[in-house]
Amino acid sequence: MKNFAQFEKRIQYSFNEPALLQQAFTHRSYINEHAHSGLEHNERLEFLGDAVLELAVTDHLYAMYPDKPEGDLTAFRSALVNTKSISLAAEELGANDFLLLSRGEARDTGKARQYILANTFEAIIGALYLDGGYDVARDFIARSLFGRLEEIVSKNLWRDSKSWIQERAQEVENVTPTYRVLSETGPDHDKSFRIGVFFNDICIAEGVGTSKQEAEQNAARAALELRKWV
**Domain chopping of the chain, boundaries:** 4-154, 161-227
- Cβ neighbours, 10 Å, residue 88: 18
Residues 6+ apart with CB under 8 A from 181: 193, 194, 195, 212
Q: What is the pLDDT of residue 160?
A: 78
d(CA 142, CA 15): 18
Tens of pLDDT along the chain (230 residues) come to 789 999 999 999 999 999 999 999 999 999 988 878 888 999 999 999 999 999 999 999 999 999 999 988 998 998 899 888 999 999 999 999 999 998 877 777 677 888 999 999 999 999 999 999 999 999 999 999 999 998 888 777 777 788 889 988 999 999 999 999 999 998 877 789 999 999 999 999 999 998 898 899 899 989 988 998 86
Catalytic residue (one of 50, 105, 131, 216): 50
Beta strand 192-199 with 202-209: parallel, antiparallel or unpaired?
antiparallel
- With beta carbons less than 8 A apart as the criterion, state whether 132 and 116 touch: no
160 is catalytic: no
CA dihedral 121, 6, 139, 120 (to 10 degrees): 10
Catalytic residue (one of 46, 105, 122, 131): 122
d(CA 156, CA 179): 21
Decide which of 3.40.50.300, 1.20.1250.20, 1.10.1520.10, 1.10.10.10 is the CATH code for 4-154.
1.10.1520.10
Q: What is the pLDDT of residue 37?
A: 80
Q: What is the pLDDT of residue 47?
A: 98
67 is catalytic: no
CATH topology classification for 161-227: Double Stranded RNA Binding Domain (3.30.160)
Q: What is the pLDDT of residue 158?
A: 76
Amino acid identity, residue 173?
E
Count Cα atoms within 13 angstroms, Cβ side, for 52.
27
- With beta carbons less than 8 A apart as the criterion, state whether 193 and 212 touch: yes
Q: What is the pLDDT of residue 167?
A: 86
pTM: 0.77
Which of 50, 125, 121 is closest to 91 using CA atoms?
121
Q: What is the pLDDT of residue 14?
A: 97
